[in-house]
Amino acid sequence: MHTRGQGCIYEIYQYSVKKSTEAPGDGYVFQEEFIYMKNREKTGKAFRIKWLLLALVAAALIFVPAASHKVSAAKLVYTVKFNNNSGTSKSKTYTALTQNVTLNTTIRLPAVPKAVGYQNLGWTTRKGSSKVVYKAGARVKVRKDMTLYAVRRKSRYYTVNFYLGNGSTNSAYKKLQKKVEEGTYYTLPAVPSRSGYVNLGWSTAKNGKASTAKKVGTKIKISGNIRYYSVQMQSVKVNLRKANGTVWKTVTLGKGGYLKLPSVSNATGYTFMGWSKTRRTGSSTDPDYEAGELLRISKNTNLYATVFNRALEKDISSDEMAHPAIGMMYSKVIFVGDSRTAGIQATLKKQMSSSVTNGVSFVANPGKGLSWFRDTGYAQLIEEIDKTEGSKPIAVIFNLGVNDLGNAGNYVSYMTNIASTLKSKNCKLFYMSVNPINSTMITKAGRGARTEAQVREFNSKIRSGLSLDYKYIDMYSVLMKKGYGTNASYNGTDADSDDGLHYTTKTFKRIYYYCITYLNTGSINASYY
C-alpha cells in the first residue's frame, strides 16, 4: 500500500505480530500489526489519488478495533444434553446427564431413564423421532453441541401363573396370578401350604424335581407369559433327642431328603460325641453318626445324642505312662504342631516325672499352621534333628492342620517335598490326625470357625496324600471310640471353661500315651485307656 507524507511517496507494508518480532526499518506498531512505510519517488496526480485511497485503508487498519483483525479461536467446550422425546422435560433426571467435553472427546451414552409402562430403546438426534440413532452405552465422538432425545415404546405385560405340581389349581394358587411388566423382576411367592407335605419351591415343569426347584424369594426376569408349578414332597420328621430321651429339636423335611446333623453344646462334665439311632444310657461313645454328616431321611426318625461322661476318663499317672524306646528303637522323638501339641508338652511337664519325656522334644507354636512351619518351624525341626546323638532313627510326629483346615492340598505338597531331606537325616515320619472338635463350643468361645466335617475331610486328604512317606496315626478314630474331654486351657492345668478345641489334661496325656504306644508297637492299643 502507498501513501504520501512530507512531499514524498511512501509504500506501506503490514506485518503480523505473529510472523515477525520486529518491524524492518522505521516500523510502527498499531493494534498488534506493523505499518511499515518505505520512501518512494514523487509522481503525478494519479499517484496522489491513489495515495488518498491507500491512506484511508491504512487509517482503517490503524483505528478499527483489534478484535476485528484477529482470527476467532476454535470453540473449546461442547455440551451434550439429554431430554425426553418431546424435548420438554426440565427434570433433574435428564439435566443430571448433561456432559461438557472438549472437541473430539468420545463419550459413552448413559442409559435412558426408566419411565413406568415403557421400554427404553435408545437415543435419537431429532425431537419427536422414533428412530433410534444410538443405543445406551454407545460411544460417540463429540464435534458440536448436541441434544439427544429418549426413544421408548409402551411395555408389554405378561402373566405369571401358579399351579400345583401336577398342573391342577385351586383358589390359593389362583390368588398368586400376577400381571407383570416385561423386563422387570418378579419375586417368587411362598408355596401354598399342604397338609403332610413340605414345600421346596417352584418349577417351570410339572412334577419338578427338588434338585432343580427355584426357592421361594428367587427373583426372575419377565420376558413372556410363564407358568410355575409347586415342588412339594411328602414330609417326614426327625426328632433330635437329648441323651435322656426328651426332644431337643424337631426337623421337618421332604421324604428322601438329606439332613445335615447338627453339633450340640457340651453339657458341663460331658462331651457331645454325635447321634445314635437308639438311646444309650449313661456314658457313651462311638456314635452311629457324627456332627456335620448328611443323613438321608425316608421316614419319621428319632436320633439320640451320644455323650461321654468325662468323670469316667482315665487319668494316667507317671507310672502308667508309656515311654518311648529311646536307645533301642529311636534316638529321639520329636512332636511338631500347634497349641494342641503345646498342650501335651505343658501337661507332661506339670504332671509327669521328667523320665516320661526323656529323649522327647517339641516344636510347637499355638495358633499356627503350614505357613509358620514352612517359614520358621522347619528350621527349628532341623536344628533339633542335627543335635541328636545316636544312630537309631529319629521319630518325627506331625500334628498340624486344625488352624488351616482348608490347606490340606498345600500340606500334602509341602510335606512330600521335605520328606526326602528328613529321611536322609535318618528320620521316620508320622502324621497324626487332626483330632475331634465341637464346632458349637468353638463358636461360643469366639475361636476361629471350623467344623467337624472339615476336620474329617482334612484327615482323609492327609491320610491318602502322604501315604508313601508318612505313617498315619489315626488318633481321631480312637478318641471317637473311647471318648475325650475338651477344655479352654493348654497350659497344663484345666480351666473352668470349655472351648471345644483344646483338651483336658486327661485327654492330652492319653493322646501322648497312644502316640508312644504306636511308635513302640506299630499299633494303638486303646483297650486300657
pLDDT in tens, 379-431: 999 999 999 999 999 999 999 999 999 999 999 999 999 999 999 999 999 99
The residue-averaged pLDDT of 248-271 equals: 97
Per-residue confidence (pLDDT) for residue 1, from 0 to 100: 44
Per-residue confidence (pLDDT) for residue 282, from 0 to 100: 82
Which of 40-49, 175-184, 285-294 is least confident? 40-49
Residue 498: pLDDT over 90: yes
The answer to whether position 318 is within a domain reads no
Percent of the chain with pLDDT over 90: 84
The residue-averaged pLDDT of 237-260 equals: 96
Nearest partner of 396 among 381, 409, 410, 414, judged by Cα: 381
Measured distance CA(367)–CA(499) in Å, rounded: 14
CA trace torsion 79, 82, 87, 89 (10° rounding): -110
Which of 53-67, 170-184, 379-393, 513-527 is least confident? 53-67
Decide if 124 contacts 131 (C-beta within 8 A).
yes
Higher pLDDT, 172 or 57: 172
Domain count for the chain: 5
For 359-374, write each residue's pLDDT tens digit. Answer: 999 999 999 999 999 9
The answer to whether position 505 is within a domain reads yes
Higher pLDDT, 194 or 18: 194
Per-residue confidence (pLDDT) for residue 21, from 0 to 100: 38
Structural domain containing residue 255: 235-311
Per-residue confidence (pLDDT) for residue 72, from 0 to 100: 43
Measured distance CA(514)–CA(526) in Å, rounded: 7
Per-residue confidence (pLDDT) for residue 48, from 0 to 100: 65
Residue 135: pLDDT over 70: yes
Count other C-beta atoms under 10 Å from residue 93's C-beta. Answer: 15
Same domain, 244 and 374: no
Residue 39: pLDDT over 80: no
Q: For cell 458349637, name the residue.
A: 440
Nearest partner of 293 among 272, 262, 250, judged by Cα: 262
Measured distance CA(37)–CA(365) in Å, rounded: 98
Same domain, 250 and 274: yes
The one-letter code for the residue type at 422 is: L
Same domain, 257 and 285: yes
Residue 18: pLDDT over 50: no
Nearest partner of 373 among 403, 393, 349, judged by Cα: 403
Residue 168: pLDDT over 80: yes
Residue 176: pLDDT over 60: yes
pLDDT band at residue 149 under the 50/70/90 scheme: very high
Same domain, 40 and 116: no
User: Which are the contacts of 398, defined by CB distance < 8 A and separation ≥ 6?
Assistant: 336, 337, 415, 429, 430, 431, 432, 470
The one-letter code for the residue type at 480 is: M
Residue 23: pLDDT over 80: no
Same domain, 460 and 368: yes
Per-residue confidence (pLDDT) for residue 75, from 0 to 100: 77
C-alpha cell at 158: 405378561
Same domain, 358 and 497: yes
The residue-averaged pLDDT of 138-147 equals: 97
The answer to whether position 286 is within a domain reads yes
Same domain, 124 and 229: no
Residue 50: pLDDT over 80: no
The answer to whether position 46 is within a domain reads yes
Nearest partner of 82 among 111, 104, 119, judged by Cα: 111
Domain termination site, one of 93, 120, 154 = 154
Measured distance CA(229)–CA(226) in Å, rounded: 10
The one-letter code for the residue type at 451 is: T
Nearest partner of 484 among 357, 240, 307, 347, judged by Cα: 307
Domain termination site, one of 102, 132, 154 = 154
The answer to whether position 195 is within a domain reads yes
Per-residue confidence (pLDDT) for residue 56, from 0 to 100: 63
Q: Are strands 219-221 and 247-254 parallel, antiparallel or unpaired?
A: unpaired
pTM exceeds 0.85 for this model: no
Vertex 182 angle, CA 180 and 185, to 5°: 70
Same domain, 405 and 508: yes
Same domain, 222 and 295: no
Same domain, 426 and 501: yes
The residue-averaged pLDDT of 262-287 equals: 96
In 73-194, DSSP assigns E strands to: 77-83, 99-102, 106-108, 118-124, 139-141, 146-154, 157-163, 178-181, 185-187
Measured distance CA(303)–CA(502) in Å, rounded: 27
Same domain, 396 and 469: yes
Domain termination site, one of 128, 154, 180 = 154
For 105-116, write each residue's pLDDT tens digit. Answer: 999 999 999 999
The answer to whether position 255 is within a domain reads yes
Q: What's 301's domain CATH number?
A: 2.60.40.4270
Measured distance CA(9)–CA(51) in Å, rounded: 8
The answer to whether position 434 is within a domain reads yes
Mean pLDDT of the chain: 90
Per-residue confidence (pLDDT) for residue 54, from 0 to 100: 59
The residue-averaged pLDDT of 330-345 equals: 99
CA trace torsion 52, 58, 64, 67 (10° rounding): 150
Higher pLDDT, 433 or 52: 433
Measured distance CA(17)–CA(29) in Å, rounded: 9
- H-helix or E-strand spanning residue 13: strand 8-16
Decide if 275 contacts 288 (C-beta within 8 A).
yes
Residue 4: pLDDT over 80: no
The residue-averaged pLDDT of 335-358 equals: 98
3-state secondary structure of 3: strand
Count other C-beta atoms under 10 Å from residue 351's C-beta. Answer: 19
Per-residue confidence (pLDDT) for residue 127, from 0 to 100: 97
Same domain, 370 and 414: yes
pLDDT band at residue 22 under the 50/70/90 scheme: very low
Measured distance CA(79)–CA(246) in Å, rounded: 77
The answer to whether position 417 is within a domain reads yes
Residue 231: pLDDT over 70: yes
